Amino acid sequence: MTNHVTIVGAGPAGSMLSILLARQGLSVSMYESRPDMRTTDIGAGRSINLALATRGIEALAEVGVMSEVERILIPMMGRLIHDETGRTSMQPYGSRPHEYINSVSRTALTSILLDAAEATGQVDIHFDMRCRGVDFDGGTLRFIDSTSGDESRVPFTTIFGTDGSASPVREALLEVNGGNVDIEPLTHGYKELTMPADSKGGFQIEKEALHIWPRRDFMLIALPDLVGTFTVTLFLANEGPIDSFEHLTSDGEVLGFFEKHFADFAPLVPDLANQFTDHPHGRLATVRTTGWAHADRAVVLGDASHGVVPFHGQGMNAAFESCIVLDGCMRNNPNDWATAFAKFEQDRKPDTDAIADMAVANYVEMSSSVVDEHYQLKRAVALELDHLWPEQFTPRYAMVMFNTIPYAEVQRRAILQGEVLDRLTEGLTDIDEVDWVTAEEMVVGLDFNQVSKKGA
């Protein structure tokens, strides 16, 4: 086997993978289209901060960086819901001390991984190098240097494509392996805004929460940053006659929209209209791929093979988990990477397909269900069932965010548990009306016939 490999894309997945590959004793060349984010202010790219949960944390611990990462995390204990009248209510994410998620800066987290990669002494990183294509027959990658404009060809033996949802490595791979990519655009896009710190540098709204202004067809969310600001994201239809990005073209329309739907939020961002005009309108899509690998020559992972919409806060967490799964497949087949890569797709694709579905479904939960009284009753009952029969029942959100149960298994369990919750709460308005004897029969009768629960 070769002991030199090439990674294209030094985002979260590439930077984590480079450490794992170095630990296998490989020497790694990693190419990244953008400048070095540790020395150049390049903006965070797609989202300034992210929710980090158990799957991501376990992977970060595995590569030995969690003690540093912990210093840049802000815990978010639950969803803080802002209704149309400005009233707020807190919905805790779970009932156990470890059941919270964390806000983390994308730049700071990736920088820690890049430092750790370089500290192995086996990873050299080439910034400003945009991959333009792969020649599998000739064994070369084509790059353009974004500072000089020079084109070059770089020989490779094995490529790891972690170059994001528009991956050129994936495109080249699918041409030679006959695989397929399905990119399913969402009708909604997003725009990020910054809520400034208050005059003393503190947070203007509750710090340790993920804030949501759910308005059914659109919503605003806000995650805290270490410096007292919040990164706010508006999710809104791309097109449509009213309440769409297409429709919000003038300062007056923007301010009118925010004052009408987010009256408590609008005054907290004095330069709202300017930010709205200046900041890009991002598009969202689910990426599903078949054919993740070409023999032992190339494999794609992270958003390049399985991009999800951000409504479950899992894209990066899933990408990190994929790195660990791929590393395991390679370690189990050290002399046969073709088998390792094929096994990786076979084992992992059902899970990444499942989180893709659950991420789309979670939009409805975040933007509408959280203010629905029956949803809140079901949620309260779910938490109680988890409390009473923790071995049998775990709320879906907790299975995704605070466990490492494979996503496909989570999806299967969630369907069965959903049926239990529907039946137990049918026609009820209060948790005191629940028939707990029937509840026990139903919950104990749940047969998952599968992996045991694993707490965070």
Binding range to ligand FAD, per CB under 6 A, among 10-18, 176-184, 290-298, 422-430: 10-18
Half-sphere exposure of 30 (CA within 13 A, CB side): 31
Q: At closest approach, how far in Å is the CB of 422 from ligand FAD?
A: 29
Among 1, 23, 24, 34, binds ligand FAD (CB under 6 A): 34
Among 54, 314, 403, 417, binds ligand FAD (CB under 6 A): 314
- Pairwise CA distance, residues 160 & 6, whole Å: 6
Half-sphere exposure of 313 (CA within 13 A, CB side): 28
Q: Return the beta strands (E) in 39-179 as ranges.
A: 49-52, 74-76, 78-82, 88-92, 101-105, 123-126, 129-135, 140-145, 151-155, 159-161
- Is 321 an interacting residue with respect to ligand FAD (CB under 6 A)? no
Binding range to ligand FAD, per CB under 6 A, among 3-11, 57-65, 265-273, 404-412: 3-11
Minimum CB distance to ligand FAD smaller for 60 or for 377: 60
How is residue 332 written in tokens? Answer: 């189990």
Among 310, 395, 400, 406, binds ligand FAD (CB under 6 A): 310
- Is 130 an interacting residue with respect to ligand FAD (CB under 6 A)? yes
Q: At closest approach, how far in Å is the CB of 219 from ligand FAD?
A: 12
- Is 392 an interacting residue with respect to ligand FAD (CB under 6 A)? no
Binding range to ligand FAD, per CB under 6 A, among 80-88, 157-165, 195-203, 329-337: 157-165
- Is 214 an interacting residue with respect to ligand FAD (CB under 6 A)? no
Q: Strand, helix or coil at 117?
A: helix
- Is 298 an interacting residue with respect to ligand FAD (CB under 6 A)? no
- Is 153 an interacting residue with respect to ligand FAD (CB under 6 A)? no
Name residues contacting ligand FAD, limited to 216-255 (CB under 6 A): 233
Specify which residues 88 forms β-bridges with.
82
Q: What backbone phi and psi angles, to 5 degrees, belong to 74? A: -120, 120
Q: What backbone phi and psi angles, to 5 degrees, belong to 287? A: -115, 120
Burial class (CB in 10 A: 0-12, 13-18, 19+), 282: middle
Q: At closest approach, how far in Å is the CB of 169 from ligand FAD?
A: 8
- Is 161 an interacting residue with respect to ligand FAD (CB under 6 A)? no
Strand 298-300, strand 159-161: pairing: parallel
- Is 14 an interacting residue with respect to ligand FAD (CB under 6 A)? yes
- Is 406 an interacting residue with respect to ligand FAD (CB under 6 A)? no
Q: Strand, helix or coil at 156?
A: coil
- Pairwise CA distance, residues 161 & 164, whole Å: 8
Burial 251-274 (b: 16+ CB within 10 A, else e): eeebeebbeebbeebbebbeebbe
- Is 303 an interacting residue with respect to ligand FAD (CB under 6 A)? yes
Minimum CB distance to ligand FAD smaller for 131 or for 273: 131
- Is 78 an interacting residue with respect to ligand FAD (CB under 6 A)? no
Among 5, 7, 8, 370, binds ligand FAD (CB under 6 A): 8
Site map 164..193 versus ligand FAD, x via CB under 6 A: x---x---------------------x---
Nearest to 279 by CA among 243, 315, 232, 239: 232
Minimum CB distance to ligand FAD smaller for 321 or for 386: 321
- Is 313 an interacting residue with respect to ligand FAD (CB under 6 A)? yes
- Is 29 an interacting residue with respect to ligand FAD (CB under 6 A)? no
Specify which residues 80 forms β-bridges with.
90, 211
Helix axes 436-444 and 373-388, enclosed angle (nearest 10): 70
Nearest to 302 by CA among 358, 355, 357: 355
Minimum CB distance to ligand FAD smaller for 94 or for 168: 168
Q: Which residues contact 352 (CB under 8 A, 6 or more apart)?
A: 288, 305, 306, 308, 318, 322, 407
Minimum CB distance to ligand FAD smaller for 222 or for 421: 222
Interface residues with ligand FAD (CB under 6 A) are 8-14, 31-34, 46-47, 50-51, 130-131, 162-164, 168, 190, 233, 282, 302-303, 310, 313-317, 319
